[in-house]
């Protein structure tokens, strides 16, 4: 028999950077959490190793062709964990009655369908997968409201904002003047804009402060990560785009801030360790040990800040403004931007395009795609596919020209 306060957790994307950190936190609190299921895209060996430690009831891979491999490896490990496979299996798990809490740690729009299922099923939904909210937007929020789900931010900036806001969301729109997201500026913060043409994937993935998956690392280097986070903040906190701001803060100590109408600013600080926002999401409204080191103010050097319109940042990071543009454009534009960016980042990682082509492809796709307003998940997924096709054409087009 489980205790009343025991949360049964599904970790979507358990083999990734956020997934591994989530399991690290959960392992510290066996009295509070039991892992019901773990999922991965295709890395069966890593998934089975996690199953040996956490003994979940179910393990699933999105790649349907790997079901037999998963089944035989679970069996060989002497586990009773039930193997499942296919994108449908992940979506079904997100709505399963045996699950209380869903950690959404898939990367990209691939996480949208399971997130929407968890929202509709009224789960406690811990959102690391920012792309799902960027694509889903108001339809995602409708699903949360209709299902009675509790949506909790895991992105460090949004966790910081959430921790700096009053408890009652009904007061946010009247009390808050501005939400200010901090951005490290990534590995190229002080590079000459023209030097960015020659950047390699390895350079782009070497983030100065955080160790993360490759897609978000490239997004941090272009600052498209902050653009996606601005859109994420708009939906999580309900403020209009002109009350959302970004400031560059290279040390990543201040994780973000809320400015109130009396000009008071409340911030959340900490070492750059994702286990803090993960533990906060898991334990909210309480707090519990995360395993992270606290800040040591005696050894902390200066905290510095740079405006987005200073130091050549607008030339270096042209993608940042696309967040405000897409939020002011018709609903669906953020989905288009996200799809283009996913295709462009992958093309850059595959060394098919240059680093600076990512922005060109994002702009060209936003400009070229005519679409009608999406009304449901199916519309969003269709729009996502259409934008990917167009972005891929832009990649090909650029290659043909080069």
- Under the binding rule (CB under 6 A), the answer on residue 40 touching ligand NAD is yes
Total residues at interface with Mg ion (CB under 5 A): 3
184 is in an annotated binding site: yes
> Going by C-beta distance under 8 Å and a sequence separation of 6 or more, which residues neighbour residue 129?
12, 13, 104, 105, 106, 107, 108, 111, 115
Selected binder of ligand NAD within 41, 79, 349, 368 (CB under 6 A) = 41
CB-based burial label for 296 (10 Å; 0-12, 13-18, 19+): exposed
Interface characters, 229-268, with ligand NAD (x: CB under 6 A): ----------------------------------------
Q: How far is the CB of 353 from ligand NAD (least distance, A)?
A: 20
- Under the binding rule (CB under 6 A), the answer on residue 13 touching ligand NAD is yes
- Under the binding rule (CB under 6 A), the answer on residue 216 touching ligand NAD is yes
Selected binder of Mg ion within 155, 232, 273, 392 (CB under 5 A) = 155
Instruction: CB nearer to Mg ion: give 227 or 380.
Output: 227
156 is in an annotated binding site: yes
- Under the binding rule (CB under 5 A), the answer on residue 219 touching Mg ion is no
> Going by C-beta distance under 8 Å and a sequence separation of 6 or more, which residues neighbour residue 140?
112, 115, 116, 119, 132, 133, 235
1 is in an annotated binding site: no
Apex CA 224: angle with CA 143 and CA 155, to 5°? Answer: 50
Running DSSP on this structure, what letter comes out for residue 3?
-
Q: How far is the CB of 284 from ligand NAD (least distance, A)?
A: 17
* C-alpha span between 175 and 180 (Å, rounded): 15
Q: Which stretch binds ligand NAD (CB under 6 A): 102-110, 164-172, 362-370, 383-391?
A: 102-110
* C-alpha span between 171 and 369 (Å, rounded): 38
Instruction: CB nearer to Mg ion: give 18 or 139.
Output: 18
- Under the binding rule (CB under 6 A), the answer on residue 115 touching ligand NAD is no
The interaxial angle of helices 333-349 and 214-222, nearest 10 deg, is: 110
Q: Please give the radius of gyration of the chain, using alpha carbons only, rounded to the nearest integer.
A: 21
Q: Under a CB-based contact definition with an 8 Å cutoff, are residues 119 and 140 in contact?
A: yes
Q: Which stretch binds ligand NAD (CB under 6 A): 25-33, 64-72, 170-178, 206-214?
A: 206-214
Instruction: CB nearer to Mg ion: give 114 or 153.
Output: 153
Selected binder of ligand NAD within 201, 213, 241, 291 (CB under 6 A) = 213
- Under the binding rule (CB under 6 A), the answer on residue 102 touching ligand NAD is no
Sequence length of the chain is: 402
- Under the binding rule (CB under 6 A), the answer on residue 17 touching ligand NAD is yes
> Going by C-beta distance under 8 Å and a sequence separation of 6 or more, which residues neighbour residue 181?
157, 161, 226, 229, 230, 233, 244, 245, 246, 247, 256
CA 247, distance to chain mean position in Å, is: 19
Q: Which chain residues interact with ligand NAD by CB under 6 A? A: 13-19, 40-41, 43, 62, 105-107, 110, 128-131, 155, 210, 212-213, 216, 274
Q: Which chain residues interact with Mg ion by CB under 5 A? A: 155-157
């Amino acid at each position: 028999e489980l205790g009343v306060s025991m949360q049964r957790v599904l970790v979507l994307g358990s083999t990734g950077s956020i997934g591994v950190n989530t399991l690290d936190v959960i392992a510290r609190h066996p009295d509070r959490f039991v892992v019901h299921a773990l999922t991965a895209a295709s890395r069966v060996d890593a998934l089975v190793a996690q199953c040996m430690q956490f003994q979940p009831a179910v393990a699933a891979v999105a790649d349907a062709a790997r079901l037999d491999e998963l089944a035989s490896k679970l069996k060989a490990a002497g586990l009773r964990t039930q193997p499942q496979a296919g994108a449908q299996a992940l979506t079904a798990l997100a709505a399963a009655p045996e699950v209380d809490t869903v950690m959404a740690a898939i990367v990209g729009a691939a996480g949208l369908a399971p997130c929407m299922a968890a929202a509709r099923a009224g789960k406690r939904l811990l959102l690391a997968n920012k792309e799902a909210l960027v694509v889903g937007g108001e339809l995602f929020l409708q699903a949360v409201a209709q299902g009675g789900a509790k949506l909790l931010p895991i992105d460090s900036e949004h966790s910081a904002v959430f921790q700096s806001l009053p408890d009652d969301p009904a007061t946010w729109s009247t009390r808050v003047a501005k939400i200010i997201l901090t951005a490290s500026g990534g590995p190229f913060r002080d590079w000459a804009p023209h030097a960015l043409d020659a950047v390699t994937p390895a350079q782009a993935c070497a983030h100065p402060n955080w160790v993360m998956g490759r897609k978000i690392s490239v997004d941090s280097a272009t600052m498209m990560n902050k653009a996606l986070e601005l859109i994420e903040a708009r939906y999580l906190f309900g403020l209009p785009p002109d009350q959302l701001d970004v400031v560059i803060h290279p040390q990543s100590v201040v994780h973000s801030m809320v400015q109130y109408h009396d000009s008071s600013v409340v911030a959340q600080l900490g070492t750059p360790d994702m286990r803090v926002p993960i533990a906060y999401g898991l334990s909210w409204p309480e707090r519990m040990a995360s395993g992270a080191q606290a800040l040591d103010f005696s050894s902390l050097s200066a905290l510095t800040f740079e405006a987005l319109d200073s130091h050549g940042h607008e030339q270096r990071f042209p993608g940042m403004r696309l967040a405000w543009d897409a939020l002011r454009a018709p609903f669906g534009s953020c989905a288009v931007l996200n799809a283009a960016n996913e295709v462009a980042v992958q093309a850059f990682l595959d060394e098919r395009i240059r680093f600076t082509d990512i922005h060109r492809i994002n702009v060209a796709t936003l400009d070229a795609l005519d679409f009608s307003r999406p009304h449901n998940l199916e519309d969003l997924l269709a729009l996502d596919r259409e934008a990917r096709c167009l972005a891929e054409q832009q990649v090909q087009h650029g290659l043909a020209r080069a």
